[in-house]
Structure 1
Amino acid sequence: MKAEIRKLAVFVEELHREMDRPVSPPSRKACAVAVIRNPFAGRYVEDLGDLIEIGAELGGLLGKRCVEALGIPPQAAESYGKAALVGEDGELEHAAAILHPALGKPLREAVEKGAALVPSSKRRGGPGVVLDIPLGHKDAAYVRSHFDGMQVWLNDSPRADEIMVAVAVTDSGRPLARIGGLQAHEIEGRDGLR
């Protein structure tokens, strides 16, 4: 593996009640995080190919960890998202190199299909900074009930020469969703939009 991983962490959030109403079955989100050494920390490098390769490695690894944490078959995953937090000696383009060119394909394989773009966010910060991971339905971007997010932070990450990379996967949409739009059971899943 090209990624030099210092730490892996997996979190599962399970919501049983919302607005004093039961959520049944519970709404569940999983997030898997890798804290890696940034090979380009502190210097400008034109070719970010190493980070693109690392993104491909992490997409599969983190996606599988999320699915396993939820205890579901891959095809039961409904939403996904990705995010990266670059330490202060890195640049946002380092996060973009990990997240965009190659992380999506292995993540889609981990959740079986994934016709929609994977929502993403990136930022720079130090240890304990909160990273927001946007979520959207994996097969149809117009499913409003699955517009959501998850937050993650690690008290010691990222260090100045590190990047914290996160993937989130859910087994459902938002609890008590009721703002209309395309419903999950209406998805065609061909164009990634509907």
Structure 2
Amino acid sequence: MSLSTSLSIRKICAFQEDVREDQRVLAQPFKHVIVAAVIRNPWAGRGFVEDLKPVVGEIAPQLGQLLATHAVGIMGGADKVQAFGKAAAVGLGGDYEHANALIHTVLFGDPCRQAINGSAWMVGNQKVAPTGLTLELPMAHKDDAKNQNYYHTIPIFIPDAPRADEIVVAVGMASGTRPNARL
């Protein structure tokens, strides 16, 4: 996949956790993964930008596909994914809407859903944050967003991001319900 000139990625971070025990030994390990891209904020230094849609239309689909493909690879295939979610954080030089605009659109979500053969809307979270943020990424079932046993949140920490002119955009995936779910 060739990336547009508006999409400048400083780095991609991947986080994986395999939980084998949580109050008791789990029948199967619970795996969750987050893949995050630290990108240059395409609106940084431009003051208030009225229409974010042209840039969103150009880079949101690329980000969704890139992050979802990477996460599915770490999970071991789309058939291993039962839950997913998204999150973004814009640096202090940006606008809350910059983070929101990139992830809360079907242009971002559709490639993620397609990568895991899912049908539900992705739950998400965004914020304005200083460098060294802790970003909380919520998850829900890939087909049934109302199934509460799949609700959980994964915190991630990227020590040097987002810089003031950056946005962290992340996709998370999980292998099943949260450990010991019983609702």
Instruction: Specify the TM-score bucket, using the shorter chain as the normaliser.
Output: over 0.9
Identity %: 38
> Corresponding residue for 1:100?
104
For the aligned residues, what is the CA RMSD?
Answer: 1.1
> Corresponding residue for 1:137?
141
Query: What number of residue pairs does the alignment pair up?
Result: 176
Q: Could you list the runs of 5+ residues in structure 2 that have no partner in the other structure?
A: none
1:54 to partner: Cα distance: 1.5
> Corresponding residue for 1:29?
32
* Equivalent runs, 1:1-194 vs 2, <5 Å: 1-2=3-4, 3-19=7-23, 21-42=24-45, 43-48=47-52, 49-71=54-76, 73-101=77-105, 102-112=107-117, 114-179=118-183
Contact 1:119 1:134 in 2 (8 A): yes
Task: Tell me how far apart the structure 1 counterparts of residues 134 and 85 of structure 2 sit (CA, whole Å).
Answer: 15
Counterpart amino acid of residue 36 in structure 1: I
Counterpart amino acid of residue 31 in structure 2: R
Equivalent residue of 2:97, what SS?
helix
Equivalent residue of 2:14, what SS?
strand
Equivalent residue of 1:103, what SS?
helix
1:27 to partner: Cα distance: 0.3
Task: Tell me how far apart the structure 1 counterparts of residues 58 and 100 of structure 2 sit (CA, whole Å).
Answer: 12
Regions of 4+ moved over 6 Å? none
Contact 1:52 1:97 in 2 (8 A): no
1:75 to partner: Cα distance: 3.0
Q: Could you list the runs of 5+ residues in structure 1 that have no partner in the other structure?
A: 180-194
Normalised by the size of structure 1, how large is the TM-score? 0.87
Shift in CA distance, 120/52, structure 1 to aligned 2, threshold 3 Å: farther
